[in-house]
Amino acid sequence: MNGKTIVANIYPSLNFSKIRDYITLTKPRLLSSVLLSTVLGYILPVDTSAGVFPLLYLLLGTAMIGAGAHTLNQWQEQIPDSKMRRTKNRPLPTGRLSGNEALAFGIIISVSGFTTLWLSLNILTAALGLLTLFSYILIYTPLKRKSVSNTWFGGITGALPPVMGWTAARGTLDWEVLPIFALLYFWQLPHFFAIAWMYRDDYRRGGFKMLSLEDPTGKKTSVQMLFYGGLLFISSIAVFIIGQLSLVYLVSAFLLGLGFLAVISLFFRKSSSENARKVFLASIIYLPVLSSIIILDMFIY
């Protein structure tokens, strides 16, 4: 008798495939970017000597709240997800997990994350975690089926993790956190506009309201991409201007920002799915590379 059989006999309702489905609900790849941005907020305060253990508690608590938000989002969107090609094979639309299982899982890990942040760090960080959760499931998710403004509201939710990192390190909410908050916010908009253009037929099937569905030529979408790409460039430079990083970061941010804007300009000239994909790929390269430069800069220079 192998190990899988033993586990299945002891816990008949919990096997390895179901565990994998629970992990899928948390959206691990998206969660990893959330945690990376949280680390940025934690290390950026220049006059703070925060230790490793608070960082570990921060990552644990943030991971659980983020996983809970992603799970509850999918619980809310079971029907739309079943209509969309890119989401129809998720655990809930296929019936591999029930709605009640997802709801219970989402609530339990969300509460656990909030408790971890509160007891291990401070109430301010825990409150920001709760704000992130509620803004995601109570504002962004319902708004997706009502108004194209969901993208702008969703960007606020996605930009809160570095603020949580900042308050975990300092215990206070300071104005110096604004550039990294803005950087994360403005990065998300070209990123999600590109996704919405690539999958606009899918979003239409799911009943979601996206700018791309009201923009047959792509002109509105491309203008928005360029505008927020420009604000992203300014925000990345602002991180240096307020004295948080070195000239190495400034040069890197300048070159990365210009490169990202150059890719966005391709979509501006020709609003095709191929060029939207290029913007998407550039966005998922830009953020990890810039984040890595920030981390190295903080510890080397």
Comparing 49 with 19, the larger pLDDT belongs to 19
The rounded distance, in Å, linking the Cα atoms of 109 and 125 is 17
Give the model confidence (pLDDT) of 134-158 as tens digits.
999 999 999 999 999 999 999 999 9
pLDDT at 61 over 80: yes
Helices 161-170 and 178-198 pack at an angle, to 10 degrees, of 160
Within 13 Å, how many C-alpha atoms sit on residue 20's CB side?
A: 5
Give the model confidence (pLDDT) of 216-235 as tens digits.
999 999 999 999 999 999 99
pLDDT at 300: 79
Residues 6+ apart with CB under 8 A from 205: 83, 84, 85
Arithmetic mean of pLDDT over the chain:
92
The rounded distance, in Å, linking the Cα atoms of 166 and 199 is 35
Question: Which residue ranges make up each domain of the chain?
Answer: 14-173, 174-301
Residue 92 to residues 12, 43, 125, 186, Cα–Cα distance (Å): 20, 37, 31, 31
The rounded distance, in Å, linking the Cα atoms of 268 and 297 is 33
pTM of the model: 0.90
When the candidates are 1.10.287.3610, 1.10.3720.10, 1.10.357.140, 3.10.150.10, the CATH number that belongs to 14-173 is 1.10.357.140
pLDDT band at 8 (very low <50, low <70, confident <90, very high): very low
pLDDT at 46 over 70: no
Give the model confidence (pLDDT) of 169-191 as tens digits.
999 999 999 999 999 999 999 99
Give the model confidence (pLDDT) of 233-287 as tens digits.
999 999 999 888 899 999 999 999 999 999 999 999 999 999 999 999 999 999 9
